[in-house]
A and B are shown apart, each in its own frame.
Chain A
Amino acid sequence: MERKIRVLVAKPGLDGHDRGARVVAAALRDAGMEVIYTGLHQTPEMIVQTALQVDVDVVGLSIHSGAHMTLFPAVKKLLDENGMGDVLLHGGGIIPEEDITELQKMGIGHLFGPGTSSKELVDYIREEVERKRASAKKG
């Protein structure tokens, strides 16, 4: 049997608004995933370090502070540099449409906005991880 999907929920940057991150963490746990929550005020280095240590399939960043254009690319770059380019990096928060487009061009996954249901998020993660696992087997 394949191992449970392992997700790192992370709060990068200086912002402490963690309602979204904690609700998401609880919802993913209830959907049967293994969830690790970093806690607050994490630098990209700290997040990637944790991701490496616990060997995650997915990293989800929660950002409400407007710092997404700096923090997402920084985490992406460090994941790639550490041989974790296949980890699904995605996230949520208050992120304008055109920034989402730009971030997705850099290889960042879906970015969920306010009002997203847990189901949408869970389905997305399952599909993406299955796809990645399948292509890894083939490869």
Chain B
Amino acid sequence: MGKPGDTTRKEVRVSAQKPQSMKSLAAQYAKWREKVDALPARDAQFISVSGVEAPFLCTPEDVKDLDYERDLGFPGEYPFTRGVRSNMYRGRLWTMRQFSGFGTAKDTNRRYKFLLEKGQTGLSVAFDMPTIMGYDSDQSRARGEVGRCGVAISCLENMKTLFDGIPLNKVSTSMTINAPASILFAFYIAVGESQGVSSHNLTGTIQNDILKEYIAQKSFIFPPTPSIRIITDIMRFAKDHVPRWNTISISGYHIREAGSTAVQELAFTLADGFAYVEAGIKAGLDVDEFAPRLSFFFNSHLDFFEEIAKYRAARRIWARHMKKKYGAKKPESWLLRFHTQTAGCSLTAQQPENNIVRTAFQALSAVLGGTQSLHTNSMDETLGLPTEKAVKIALRTQQLVAHETGAANVIDPLAGSYYVESLTDRMEQEAEAYFEKIDKLGGVVAAIEKGFMQREIGDAAYKYQRQIEKKERIVVGLNEFVDENETIDIDILKIDPKVEDDQAGTLKMVRERRDGVAVKNALEDIRTACRDEGINLMPKILHAVKVEATLGEMIQVMREEFGEYREPPIF
């Protein structure tokens, strides 16, 4: 291989020859296809996971419009198609970050220490449904749900337990929290302070992506307008006080899990991202002040090449729009950095050990697509929360990809593949078509209110299910290669029902020991800030957290002021 300069010269020479050679190539291809089409084909649908017909064979004809400098460039350089870092995994591997949380803060703290000891390099918190929906563990709506599908965190005391013995200046933490993100972020900052770590040295992410909640995951509390106001308050606060924090993780993961196609995931996620950029600009922030702290979160489904093309297209689209449409000047604002999680919805409850293999393929495509961090699902996730054994295999899968497959040695190794490049282009074009549709509907929020994305995703999910049932799509162990009378003999993690009582006890202790007047005043300060957009909510919330107001109390005030969002039921 020559120096970069040689490559460019070669490109020029090839493109100078294009017209002549392409013409003859197209003719040769047609002749070859005629022969091949006469052969019998296997009885199958040659479609991607997204239902897109796959090309028979790709040739230079499929990439004839590709311009290396304009469309690909070098890693770490605009338009970042080939990766956001110039040295990618030669410099540093992706962060291995297993999403994890169950039971009490104490139970989850033990799991975090186990994962760190096994070589995990970052933390990722899964909260239970009451926390996600802004209820304390002892509120009536929390009954039966405490600690079930994540860890229960209602107050600062819980958060201190969660990170007990884990120095927050040494790990980065991602928190999957949206509607109450401001409060969990404040809990984290306060725990840092109690450990003597300045907020300026905290690193991590809050998901804080409310738009995809309305679109897909449906864990919303407030209506869109006040929700976006909270987000811009967080962005403004973080740029001054927690500058190394990723303030939004713009998420396609849940959109895909809800049943979207790859292109829908790509398009709706980036459209959400642009909506946050517009909200920030509208709130008076300079785009270069907050855009470098926006990060992304994608799904890695089973269609290997479609996924890789999706990540490459995502980087290119984001860079182009940020530079050209939003006028961002800092290269950091053009970078689409992303976390990946393998597709939970691709796993089967039947023959669950096969899920290890599915996850391995998905992990590999995320790495070949240039992810910055990765969660690999455990084989037992269609049956319950992961056991220690299952999560260890999932983590080992990443370590295997990193150290045994060679995939991390060469940057963007599939660049130049006729198929991957043409797929990358096609996905970019189809995403642009969706952006236009959303614009015509009046933007992301208006499109959500009209149910546009929800319907597109619902239709795609139903179509996928029908394909499986009609066996147009084979799922191993589910509709083909089925083990009759299969018995599942893997362990299932059980959540101790005592969690609810433990949490009630902790909350009672906190409520008794704290200064009631200080809490009342702090909550009223939050109310005042809710009513006045000129007051940033974050410092008020941080203060309330420190005097031990609970999550449920703070959210209750905000519910009273902002109202609650109700979705019209559609199917």
B258, B349, B383: the one within 8 Å of A19 (CB): B258
Which chain B residues lie closer than 8 Å to A29 at the CB level? 571
Please determine whether B495 and A22 come into contact, CB atoms closer than 8 angstroms. no
Please determine whether B567 and A94 come into contact, CB atoms closer than 8 angstroms. no
User: Is B568 an interface residue when CB atoms closer than 8 A count as contact?
Assistant: yes
User: Is A85 an interface residue when CB atoms closer than 8 A count as contact?
Assistant: no
Cβ < 8 Å to A, chain B residues 122-158: 129-130, 132-133, 135, 141-145, 148-149
Please determine whether A13 and B129 come into contact, CB atoms closer than 8 angstroms. yes
Q: How far is the CA of A69 from the CA of B384 in the complex (A)?
A: 14
Cβ < 8 Å to B, chain A residues 27-73: 27, 29, 35, 37-41, 43, 64-67, 69-71
Please determine whether B469 and A13 come into contact, CB atoms closer than 8 angstroms. no
Which chain B residues lie closer than 8 Å to A18 at the CB level? 218, 258
Please determine whether B458 and A65 come into contact, CB atoms closer than 8 angstroms. no
Please determine whether B569 and A16 come into contact, CB atoms closer than 8 angstroms. no
Secondary structure call for the A interface: loop
Residues 103-135 of chain A, each 1 if its beta carbon lies under 8 Å from chain B, else 0: 000000000011101110000000000000000
Q: How far is the CA of A18 from the CA of B458 in the complex (A)?
A: 9
Contact A96 to B384, CB < 8 A, known contacts A23-B465, A115-B350: yes
Residues 1-25 of chain A, each 1 if its beta carbon lies under 8 Å from chain B, else 0: 0000000010001111111011101
Which chain A residues lie closer than 8 Å to B144 at the CB level? 13, 67, 69-71
Q: How far is the CA of A14 from the CA of B382 in the complex (A)?
A: 19
Q: How far is the CA of A21 from the CA of B462 in the complex (A)?
A: 11
Nearest chain A residue, comparing its CB with the CB of B468:
A117
Nearest chain A residue, comparing its CB with the CB of B217:
A16
Which chain A residues lie closer than 8 Å to B569 at the CB level? 37-40
Q: How far is the CA of A37 from the CA of B569 in the complex (A)?
A: 7
A25, A39, A71, A96: the one within 8 Å of B567 (CB): A39
Q: How far is the CA of A27 from the CA of B345 in the complex (A)?
A: 19
Q: Taking the nearest CB of chain A, how far is it from the CB of B212, in angstroms?
A: 11
Please determine whether A22 and B571 come into contact, CB atoms closer than 8 angstroms. yes
User: Is B429 an interface residue when CB atoms closer than 8 A count as contact?
Assistant: no
Please determine whether B148 and A65 come into contact, CB atoms closer than 8 angstroms. yes
Which chain B residues lie closer than 8 Å to A119 at the CB level? 469
Contact A14 to B349, CB < 8 A, known contacts A22-B461, A65-B149: no
Q: How far is the CA of A124 from the CA of B316 in the complex (A)?
A: 49
Q: How far is the CA of A20 from the CA of B283 in the complex (A)?
A: 38
A27, A39, A43, A113: the one within 8 Å of B465 (CB): A27
Nearest chain B residue, comparing its CB with the CB of A64:
B149
Cβ < 8 Å to A, chain B residues 399-418: none
Please determine whether B148 and A114 come into contact, CB atoms closer than 8 angstroms. no
Which chain A residues lie closer than 8 Å to B218 at the CB level? 16-18, 40
B129, B348, B349: the one within 8 Å of A65 (CB): B129
Please determine whether B145 and A70 come into contact, CB atoms closer than 8 angstroms. yes
Q: A66-B384, A67-B148 are in contact. List 10 more A-B contacts (CB 8 A).
A: A14-B135, A19-B345, A23-B259, A27-B465, A39-B568, A69-B144, A94-B382, A96-B384, A115-B348, A118-B469
| B→A interface (CB under 8 Å) | 129-130, 132-133, 135, 141-145, 148-149, 213, 217-220, 257-259, 345, 348-350, 382-385, 458, 461-462, 465, 468-469, 475, 478-479, 488, 492, 495, 566-571
14 A-B pairs in the complex with CB atoms less than 8 angstroms apart: A14-B130, A15-B129, A15-B149, A18-B218, A22-B462, A39-B566, A40-B569, A66-B148, A67-B145, A70-B143, A96-B384, A113-B349, A115-B349, A115-B475
